[in-house]
Structure formats: C-alpha cells, structure tokens
C-alpha cells in the first residue's frame, strides 16, 4: 500500500465530476487500500478519489475506528431530518465551517466484490456520506457552508 498525496483547494481536479467505475479491477482494489491508508495516516474520517487525483466514483469512510466503509459508484437514495454542525476537509486544511446536512442518509453502492448494497448512517456518518459524495460531483463543503469559522 502507498500513502497518496491529497490535493488542496485550488486544484482544478477537485471541481470535476467523476466517472463511474465500470469494472472492479486490481487497480480499483489497490486504490481503495491506498485511500484507506492515506485517510488513516492523516486522521481523516473520509476520502474521495478526486482528492487523490483520481476522477472515479470511489469513497472510503471511517467515522468509527476499525469500521471502514468502501463505496464504489455511490448514490444517495434516501435522506431525512436535518443537522447543523462543524465540517472540515482534508483538502481544505485548517478551515472549518458550519453546514446543514441530513440527519439520516441511505447510500446504495458497490462493494469491492462488485455487489450492490445499501447502508444507512445517522449523525456524523450521514454527514460524511454527503460530504464525500459531494466530492464526486466537484463540490466542496465550503460551497454549502452556512458560515465559516475563524480558525486563527
């Protein structure tokens, strides 16, 4: 496995729409492993493929240690409720904002075996789903922040 370089705000790759994954190849599996290692190495809760320069619809999330969620071609299929909370991003280091996200989110995706599954998260996991899937469409949390917090 290899630790990948995380792109920072201002890099045009972060604003591009990602393409779907057509087949689960060894390259996709390696990318999932490398993304998880990179996310953990920097203490993140999630990482999307465009953040490491790969324009594919791939996300890894781990809001609870040891409970890695790998999502290939994810789509939000249901959401409800509302939460306002602080949000940050590995691609926007040192900045935080207040966002409004759904309290409960259900995502449909493929796993590393190419099997379709649904997963539902609440609270921080729901926020992570929304945040990381936004990356796949070239959106950053600062685009929907209600306000930015002064971090200095």
Kindly report, residue by residue over 99-145, the tens digit of the pLDDT. Answer: 999 999 999 999 999 999 999 999 999 999 999 999 999 999 999 99
Q: Is residue 4 part of a domain?
A: no
Domain count for the chain, please give it: 1
pTM for this structure?
0.96
Which residues make Cβ contacts (< 8 Å) with residue 139, sequence separation at least 6?
A: none
> What single DSSP character describes residue 43?
T
pLDDT tens digits for range 51-93: 999 999 999 999 999 999 999 999 999 999 999 999 999 999 9
Domain that holds residue 104: 12-149
Rg (CA), the chain: 14
Q: Identify any residues that bridge with 16 across adjacent strands, giving them in sequence order.
A: none
Q: Is residue 60 part of a domain?
A: yes
Is 132 marked active-site? yes
Task: Determine which one of 62, 70, 87, 132 is catalytic.
Answer: 132
Q: Is residue 1 part of a domain?
A: no
Q: What is the pLDDT of residue 151?
A: 60
């Amino acid at each position: 496995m290899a630790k990948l370089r995380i792109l920072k705000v201002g890099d045009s790759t972060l604003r591009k729409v990602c393409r779907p994954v057509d087949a689960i190849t060894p390259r996709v599996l390696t990318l999932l492993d490398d993304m998880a290692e990179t996310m953990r190495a920097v203490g993140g809760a999630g990482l999307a493929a465009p953040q490491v320069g790969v324009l594919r619809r791939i996300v890894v999330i781990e809001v609870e240690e040891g409970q890695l969620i790998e999502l290939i071609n994810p789509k939000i299929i249901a959401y409800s409720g509302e939460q306002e909370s602080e949000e940050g991003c590995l691609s926007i280091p040192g900045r935080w904002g207040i966002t409004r996200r759904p309290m409960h989110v259900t995502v449909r995706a493929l796993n590393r075996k190419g099997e379709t599954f649904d997963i539902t998260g609440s609270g921080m996991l729901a926020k992570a789903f929304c945040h990381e899937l936004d990356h796949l469409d070239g959106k950053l949390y600062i685009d929907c922040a209600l306000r930015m917090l002064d971090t200095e």
